Structure 1
Amino acid sequence: MVGSGESLTRSGLRGREAELAELHTLITEVPRTGSGALALIQGEPGIGKTTLLAEAVTTARAAGFSVGLGKADELHHIVPLSSLAASLLHGEQPLLSGDAFADLTRNQDQRIWLVERLAEAIEARACGAPVLIGLDDVQWADPLSRFALRQLPARLRTSPVLWLLAGRPDPAGPAEDILAAAAEALATVTVPLGPLSGAAIRQLTDDTLGTAVDERVRDLLDGAGGNPFLAVEMLAGLGAAETSGDLVPPTLVVGVRGRLRSLRPDTLRFLRMGAVLGRRFSLHDAAALCGQPPATLIPALEEAMCAGLLDDDGDDLVFRHDLLRQAVYVDITPSARKVLHREAASHLVAAGGRPIDAVPHILRGAEVGDVECVALLRRAAEDVLPVTPGLAADLMTRALELVPPASPLRFEVGEQAIRYLTQAGRSREALSTGDRLLACRPPLDVFSRLQAALGGALWNMDLAEELRRRTESALAVEGAAPEAAARLAALRALALSRGHDLVAAREAGETALRAATAIGDREAHVLALSGLGEIAQNAGENAVALEHFARLSTIEPAFLPEEIVAHLHLDDFASGGRLLLRAGDNAGKTRQAMLLWAQGQHDLGLGRLDDADAGFATMERLEDDVQVPVQQVNARVIRSRIALLRGDRDAAREHLAAARRRLAAKPNPGNTAAVRFLEAVHAEADGDVGLAVDKIRQVQKQGVLMRWRLLRDWVDTAIRMALRGADRELAEDLATQARTHAARNPTVPTATGVAAQALGLVTNDLALLEESVALLAASPRPLVRAAADADLGQALLAAGHRPQAVAALTRARGLFAESGAHAAAARLQRDLDAAGAGGGRVVTRQRPVQGWSALTASEQKVARLVADGHTNRSAADLLFVSPHTVNTHLTSAFRKLGVNSRVQLANLVAALPDPERTGE
């Protein structure tokens, strides 16, 4: 009898020569080029995907690859990282040790951080040998593995890593999603497997039964439809029949069910219990469902293995193919399946399993009113929230559905669902869930808790006025618990931070903070400090904002980016830089995208335009990855201004268009004002001063919030537009707000210097412009200093003070050029030429598009380090930036240089002249 014998497994490759050759080409090319690639093997169940994947893995091992091979499981498709873990932890030389993997998954929420650490581990292994990571049945990959697989191939494109995925066709499935994410970054191949040809099926028949095969058998095999698995199963059945001396039974059923009819009832029952547990299961768990001691099932196990239905891998029993498991499973009546899944869930938890391991069975077997299942879903959701908030939200939504409508538990579960939906970025769903619960007229204390839980969703949706209305309504109702009342008060202060009366907002925030401190409620404390920090920042009180954000980040490290930016507003870039380094060492505890926002602001302030642009681009990508857009509009506005300073009008327009698209998705007042300001800058650059002035007026109408947050360092630009448009009233209003801002920040050189510059522009006062340059000498912001020098130079030229004008314009030109603001430097060079002072000119020609000279200074540094053998992590440590930013620089460098791997990059750098190669 043929069971799981090697001959049939091997013969499953009949008719797959072309597909094998395609995979062999990739196995050869990846180590030769040193760059990554991805192949997706697709086909219906039983078509030979697993066999082809196994053959490719064997070939890769023989070629010197380090191999990690895993298989996703239908009944474990929600356990975080379970699918990819199999690829990384199994094999003779696992890519990650079990301890290292466990350490990665302990961190609080950081999907991005987790993926980066996985990338570093794989990258390190790839330095010594090419790596193959294979995953079978990718259609069942868990959400976190899918997230990682969307990021890792592109992140590791510059290393010799081959990704081999196998799965069923599904245009909307995870395989296509992963393939699309990788397609722009590395070579991708789809290997579709169709039915085997008649000739290949005949070869399978000859391999198994010999060449003298009855024509009736060949006709019967036509019923396999070219599916090698079904053909092999039929041949196994024929082999058994011939061994027993019987002719081919006329009732033979094509496929798997015919294989089961000869089994003893006890064996079939055992197999059915195993099928409920999943493709992989333990004898102990199956025995528990059978209600028998494991020892009594040994005869059934032996019969199932002899029949070629099960394998034993030393740890678990495994159905030899998914079709085998499914054929057994569908023979169980639907009502019995539900009962068995429910029993399986109870057994797994009672045996010490994690709640998440029981969840697949709960989802198939729980009914409304099953309180135990509700409790298990809540525990599982809490466990997975840090790494897969979307899954946690799904589990809580299901838990809420299982609670009877009249049960008091419904409000408790609903509150948890609201919070998890909000954390998953599904704020609209959280709001609708909360409103449905509120419509049920909950008790007053529950009403207050639900309104407090909805605060995060309303804030994320930029519904500050609605948040204020709801919190005030809830606070007006007696009966709220102290914790709920404190959180509502803090949320109210947060909502008021977006209003016009910041004095009242501050009083509300301080009251909320006292209440939170008095009762010791951490959530209320965090909300109150966050609100006070926002209020102070919106009022332009930078030192006060820093005080609140520093206290906040001490309580909750995730808010460290806010503290860093608050230091920058005080011109304290030294402290901001130290905190960035500290945050990099503890990146698993903070928000990666917001940390990149802080890094970008730091680089922008110091005039490192290339680094700032790369940082904001990386931040936007990470926000897209986690689908939580926060700073994307502002990032595009800044990147557009950077492009204009560089002289890249096409890129500037692309960023403006992107900012408008993102504004449509998140049209809050701040985003609206930021885009209007950018439109003013573009209008002026296009020569439409009237439109520019109109846009600035629109910005001013947004209120005090915009005055401090948007025009803190750009007010001089807005004043110049107003003066060119002959709107003196607008220019004076802008100068007044700059003066007010300076009065609130008297120790900040940038604030005091910009205020003098603004008033000097409005009054055309040389003395004030000279004072602004003197004050700004202490500012760490070179672009601000350059703008003030340029204004002074222009005024001195107009007053006929040519030598002093040339000195000021020359200083400004140099500062712009050093920062990479080549277009701004070129404009000043033209002014100097017109003044007859063209000597000592700074070369400001636009950077080429391709080649080594096309690389920014930061890209060249990264390229040299990587060419010397550094990983992204070690290069990041040397450059004091994040590995994500290094990856952005490296990807850009590869594109400009036309290379696809670190090997090619190293060869290119080695061929450069010595000064360019060493960066001297």
Structure 2
Amino acid sequence: MAGTGRSLSRRGLRGREAELEELHTLIVSVAGTGSGALALIRGEAGIGKTTLLTEAVARAEAAGFSVGVGKADELHHLVPLSSLAACVLDGDRPLLSGDAFTDLAGGHDQRIWLVERLAEAIEDRAGSVPVLIALDDVQWADPLSRFALKQLPTRLRTSPVLWLLTGRRGVDGPAQEILTAVGPQLPVRTVSLGPLSGTAIGQLAGDTLAASVDERVCGLLEGAGGNPFLAVEMLAGLRTAGTSAKTPDQLVPPGLVVGVRGRLRSLRPGTLRFLQMGAVLGRGFAFHDAAALCGAPSVASLAALEEAVGAGLLDDEGDQLVFRHDLLRQAVYVDIPPSARKALHREAAGRLVSAGHRPIDVVSHLLRGAQPGDEEAVTLLRRAADDVLPVTPGLAADLMTRALELVPTARPSWFAVGEQAVVCLTRAGRNREALATGDRLLSYRPPVEMFGRLQAALGGTLWNMDLTEELRRRTEAALAVGGAAPEVGARLAALRALALSRGHDLAAARAAGEEALRAAVATGDRQAHVQALSALGEIALNAGETALALDRFTALSAVDPSFFPEEIVACQHVDDFETGERLLAKAAENTGGLREAMLLWAQGQQHLGLGRLDDADADFVTMERLEDDVRVSVQQVNARVIRSRIALLRGDREAARRHLAAAREMRAAKPNPGNTAAVRFLEAVHADADGEPRQAVERIHQVQEEGPFLRWRLLRTWVGGAVRIALRGGDRRLAEDLAAQAEDHAGRNPSVPTATGVAAWARGLVTNDVVLLERAVTLLAKSPRPLVRASAHTDLGRALLAAGRRAEAVAALTVARAAFTASGAHAAAAQVQRDLPGGGHRRAASGRRPVEGWAALTASERKVARLVAEGHTNRTAAELLVVSPHTVNTHLTSAFRKLAVNSRVQLANLVRSLPDD
């Protein structure tokens, strides 16, 4: 059970036969069904987890699996993706080439992007052969690997991929996080290893000693407590000592790992010192690094290496030396005095950096060995934080927090380190901590230039916290103090303009933004340039000037491609969905630098605008999941509001109420004016549907009062419904106000058919003017938004009926019903059917899909199912459908649930059995 044949000549797996068979059954199931699964082997150190994993891997290889095996390391648990590196680079046919893996780990701006690339590589391999990915000691997995392990099993649950992890006993930590994330979405087995039975220990002893076991040895082994590793080490010590020893005490000294310490005492001093230096470096280390820490040339440490390998303490893997078991390393490590450990870790960090290692590779040593005032350690921590910020912002924030602790308070460098800490904390979503850190720094009265830098760094924090008035106050104070570098002044000016975008005087905000943009261009500061263009885009949207907003966001995405989604949404605001479609296709080709969740928001808005309700709902579901994954909530309230409205259009009142409840809960956590207004409007729609007109009108009033800019951003295409609510509630003044609002918006956007058509539609509703409603329908004929057109046709048809123009009314209502039906708005279509003359006397087809079987699938789910059945991966299917691979995964998950299948193979068989459409 020790993991090598050096101290155990094993004749079969002693005492773990049942557990191995359980894992073998899972291996067979994954290969047979073609669906994924996860197993966790859990137990105390030395209990045999690694050996059982090794045996399971051998079984999987014999069954034809493509196998990747890795082991997390206690002293490398901070290096991004280091734990999964061996898994995907392992074996004769690695899942990724070294170059491809380097590209993945080389600083892309999205953890989601990285996980998707890994998923594609694994999915591609699993298309031809089942895959096993095994990670030993998951409790020491680095944060990015843990993040990936929480996403990948469910992402790949429809492929034959078996995840096999081992972890120390306990209910908390990475192993439990992964199990919780996987949840009920795929089969999970937990194999708990307890102490070996006396019989198994006896068999183990016989294997090791190659002889029968007498009572003296049996008594000795009772001290192992059923732990196979300790038993093997005791037996190895017994075998080494020979049969001349008289008492167990002479063979097994007391201690944590009794047999290990006994063997260590028999080593030459130089060998023990070499092992101790290796233990400081980690479970795996380079020979020359350990020799250097010993203060001797490499040649002088050869004898120590030979003795350590010969004693079965180290394995020589060619490129590095590895302690044969973590307990061996720990037994060596704990015998080093604590004060010496700290010094040795610090020395190790310096040695490794000098040898060319990256700062992040030595961070674990710095955290153990750096003392306050260690400027070199601070510099290395700052460099490491910069390197990992794009993919593990939480780790970057932790490193900078520690760096700040190492710098004496109020030194000039303390403020610079603090500024970087604020930025990292903000990127990690720890905004309150960032603000508290910044305010503490400011309380020590930094130099004037640093005062401006700190306030500029806090700008993003305050914006994220929706403290726009505080942002305005601080930026104006910093600008008034002066003394900041020109580029910092440009950033402050841009942040001030951004804060003003939420105010009432948008003309002043625009002037401030233009001035900030000029300053940014003059200084050549990219950050200031991005902030100024972002502010101007926000101001234009809030002013209802959609063409100008498009200009600003187009310029912004040219400077920073991560703002590509904003440009796509801006195209939609001017009814240019064709360009939006092209930009989405372009974004799909190069998503590495984009914000994946925001791109899904843009895609969802595209589908919603074009009346593809099923696709829009899937996009928003996926977007919310991705925001949850990275723990950054931006559009979740708005997404739930839209999903609730989609559910109402479909006729699913239960889902609509569920989304409303979720939107309210999310708004409570982020109660900014936009979220509040969106939820209030949704409440108005629900109240109207529930026959509570007064409450509906009250909510619309609240929306109007939240802020002038919300009129343009929230009710742009929904103002017709708001007017109807006002009229049904008997509030003609509110209806007039809403119609005037729509006309004002049309005046600002005369070239946008939706804007001009909605204005005529709203006014026609208020005045009950059939001519105006006919004009609205004519104007909206050029709008690409079928749901808006259908709603206008509905109101025209009703007005024509009231005017006695039956034939024309039927024509208008028939157009509306067809448009609603085509979009999947079955409840709206049914309502129009009831409005048709004679429609109330015959049963209107609900259009509702069944909940199970092929007929239950949406059109997009069917397309995805057929493509996957043909052998497409999520990525290639997404390219053909011009959607995100994440959305394909959402469609596929839904299709699997409705069809009651668990793998791509089962799906392919089902699809092949269907008649051609």
Matches within 5 A, 1:395-410: 395-410=399-414
CA distance in structure 1 between the partners assigned to 2:184 and 2:212 by the alignment: 52
3-state SS of the aligned residue for 2:484?
Answer: coil
3-state SS of the aligned residue for 1:184?
Answer: helix
Percent sequence identity is: 74
Instruction: Tell me by how many angstroms 1:265 deviates.
Output: 0.9
* Counterpart amino acid of residue 466 in structure 1: E
Instruction: Tell me which residue corresponds to 2:886.
Output: 884
TM-score when scaled to structure 2? 0.98
Instruction: Tell me which residue corresponds to 1:918.
Output: none
Matches within 5 A, 1:291-310: 291-310=295-314
Matches within 5 A, 1:184-195: 184-195=184-195
Q: Residues 670 and 836 from structure 1, CA distance in 2 versus in 1: closer, same or farther, beyond 3 angstroms? A: closer
* Counterpart amino acid of residue 93 in structure 2: Q
Instruction: Tell me by how many angstroms 1:107 deviates.
Output: 4.9
3-state SS of the aligned residue for 1:479?
Answer: coil
Alignment of 1:202 onto 2:202:
yes
* Counterpart amino acid of residue 557 in structure 1: P
CA distance in structure 1 between the partners assigned to 2:210 and 2:393 by the alignment: 56
- Stretches of 4+ moved more than 4 A in 1? 243-249, 835-838
Q: Tell me if the contact between 1:393 and 1:424 (Cα under 8 Å) persists in the aligned partners.
A: yes
Q: Residues 519 and 403 from structure 1, CA distance in 2 versus in 1: closer, same or farther, beyond 3 angstroms? A: same
Name which of 760, 763, 779 aligns with 1:775: 779
Instruction: Tell me which residue corresponds to 1:893.
Output: 895
Q: Which moved more, 1:723-732 or 1:678-687?
A: 678-687
Instruction: Tell me by how many angstroms 1:258 deviates.
Output: 2.1
Alignment: residue pair count: 912
* Counterpart amino acid of residue 69 in structure 2: L
CA distance in structure 2 between the partners assigned to 1:9 and 1:381 by the alignment: 46
Instruction: Tell me by how many angstroms 1:661 deviates.
Output: 1.3
Q: Residues 331 and 836 from structure 1, CA distance in 2 versus in 1: closer, same or farther, beyond 3 angstroms? A: closer
Instruction: Tell me which residue corresponds to 2:281.
Output: 277
Instruction: Tell me by how many angstroms 1:844 deviates.
Output: 3.5
Matches within 5 A, 1:32-431: 32-210=32-210, 212-242=212-242, 248-250=248-250, 252-253=252-253, 254-431=258-435
CA distance in structure 2 between the partners assigned to 1:127 and 1:243 by the alignment: 57
Name which of 457, 464, 467 aligns with 2:461: 457
CA distance in structure 2 between the partners assigned to 1:875 and 1:164 by the alignment: 28
Q: Which moved more, 1:448-457 or 1:86-95?
A: 86-95
Alignment of 1:849 onto 2:846:
no
3-state SS of the aligned residue for 2:250?
Answer: coil
Alignment of 1:714 onto 2:718:
yes
Q: Residues 714 and 608 from structure 1, CA distance in 2 versus in 1: closer, same or farther, beyond 3 angstroms? A: same
Name which of 533, 555, 561 aligns with 1:557: 561
Instruction: Tell me by how many angstroms 1:291 deviates.
Output: 0.7
CA distance in structure 2 between the partners assigned to 1:895 and 1:795 by the alignment: 44
Q: Deviations over 1:611-660 (max 9, x none)?
A: 10000110111111111110000000000100110111111111111111
* Counterpart amino acid of residue 875 in structure 2: R
Q: Residues 797 and 833 from structure 1, CA distance in 2 versus in 1: closer, same or farther, beyond 3 angstroms? A: closer
Matches within 5 A, 1:376-775: 376-775=380-779
Instruction: Tell me by how many angstroms 1:12 deviates.
Output: 8.2
Instruction: Tell me by how many angstroms 1:532 deviates.
Output: 0.4
3-state SS of the aligned residue for 2:632?
Answer: coil
Q: Tell me if the contact between 1:3 and 1:307 (Cα under 8 Å) persists in the aligned partners.
A: no
Q: Residues 151 and 262 from structure 1, CA distance in 2 versus in 1: closer, same or farther, beyond 3 angstroms? A: same
CA distance in structure 2 between the partners assigned to 1:275 and 1:446 by the alignment: 43
Instruction: Tell me by how many angstroms 1:170 deviates.
Output: 3.1
Name which of 791, 799, 815 aligns with 1:811: 815
Q: Deviations over 1:550-609 (max 9, x none)?
A: 100000000010011000000000111111111111100111000000000000000000
3-state SS of the aligned residue for 1:454?
Answer: helix
CA distance in structure 1 between the partners assigned to 2:598 and 2:45 by the alignment: 44
Q: Tell me if the contact between 2:237 and 2:251 (Cα under 8 Å) persists in the aligned partners.
A: no
CA distance in structure 1 between the partners assigned to 2:706 and 2:814 by the alignment: 37
3-state SS of the aligned residue for 2:218?
Answer: helix
Instruction: Tell me by how many angstroms 1:171 deviates.
Output: 2.2
CA distance in structure 2 between the partners assigned to 1:23 and 1:6 by the alignment: 26
Instruction: Tell me which residue corresponds to 2:915.
Output: 913
CA distance in structure 2 between the partners assigned to 1:482 and 1:837 by the alignment: 74
* Counterpart amino acid of residue 339 in structure 1: A
Instruction: Tell me by how many angstroms 1:478 deviates.
Output: 2.5
* Counterpart amino acid of residue 273 in structure 1: M
Q: Residues 893 and 608 from structure 1, CA distance in 2 versus in 1: closer, same or farther, beyond 3 angstroms? A: same
Segments of 5+ residues of structure 2 without an aligned counterpart are none
Q: Deviations over 1:116-170 (max 9, x none)?
A: 0110010000111000000000000001101111110000001000000001123
Q: Tell me if the contact between 1:12 and 1:51 (Cα under 8 Å) persists in the aligned partners.
A: no
Instruction: Tell me by how many angstroms 1:4 deviates.
Output: 4.3
Q: Deviations over 1:426-484 (max 9, x none)?
A: 11111111000001111111111100100000001111111111111111112222111
Instruction: Tell me which residue corresponds to 1:864.
Output: 866
Q: Deviations over 1:377-413 (max 9, x none)?
A: 0111111111111111111111111111142100011
CA distance in structure 2 between the partners assigned to 1:471 and 1:210 by the alignment: 79
3-state SS of the aligned residue for 2:8?
Answer: helix
* Counterpart amino acid of residue 858 in structure 1: S
3-state SS of the aligned residue for 1:455?
Answer: helix
Alignment of 1:820 onto 2:811:
no
Q: Tell me if the contact between 2:313 and 2:323 (Cα under 8 Å) persists in the aligned partners.
A: yes
3-state SS of the aligned residue for 1:596?
Answer: helix
* Counterpart amino acid of residue 41 in structure 2: I
Segments of 5+ residues of structure 1 without an aligned counterpart are 916-920
Instruction: Tell me by how many angstroms 1:325 deviates.
Output: 0.2
CA distance in structure 2 between the partners assigned to 1:145 and 1:423 by the alignment: 19
Q: Tell me if the contact between 2:9 and 2:207 (Cα under 8 Å) persists in the aligned partners.
A: no
Q: Residues 12 and 630 from structure 1, CA distance in 2 versus in 1: closer, same or farther, beyond 3 angstroms? A: farther
Instruction: Tell me by how many angstroms 1:268 deviates.
Output: 0.6
Instruction: Tell me by how many angstroms 1:259 deviates.
Output: 2.2
CA distance in structure 2 between the partners assigned to 1:4 and 1:193 by the alignment: 19
3-state SS of the aligned residue for 2:836?
Answer: helix
Instruction: Tell me by how many angstroms 1:9 deviates.
Output: 6.8
Alignment of 1:832 onto 2:843:
no
Q: Deviations over 1:318-369 (max 9, x none)?
A: 0000000001000001100010001000000111111111111000000000
Q: Tell me if the contact between 1:72 and 1:141 (Cα under 8 Å) persists in the aligned partners.
A: yes
Q: Tell me if the contact between 1:603 and 1:609 (Cα under 8 Å) persists in the aligned partners.
A: yes
Q: Tell me if the contact between 1:3 and 1:236 (Cα under 8 Å) persists in the aligned partners.
A: no
Q: Tell me if the contact between 2:646 and 2:825 (Cα under 8 Å) persists in the aligned partners.
A: yes
TM-score when scaled to structure 1? 0.98
Q: Tell me if the contact between 1:12 and 1:204 (Cα under 8 Å) persists in the aligned partners.
A: no
Provide the alpha-carbon RMSD of the alignment.
1.5
Instruction: Tell me by how many angstroms 1:832 deviates.
Output: 1.4
3-state SS of the aligned residue for 2:185?
Answer: coil
Q: Residues 245 and 327 from structure 1, CA distance in 2 versus in 1: closer, same or farther, beyond 3 angstroms? A: closer
* Counterpart amino acid of residue 814 in structure 2: T
CA distance in structure 2 between the partners assigned to 1:262 and 1:107 by the alignment: 48
Q: Which moved more, 1:269-278 or 1:349-358?
A: 349-358
Q: Tell me if the contact between 1:689 and 1:721 (Cα under 8 Å) persists in the aligned partners.
A: yes
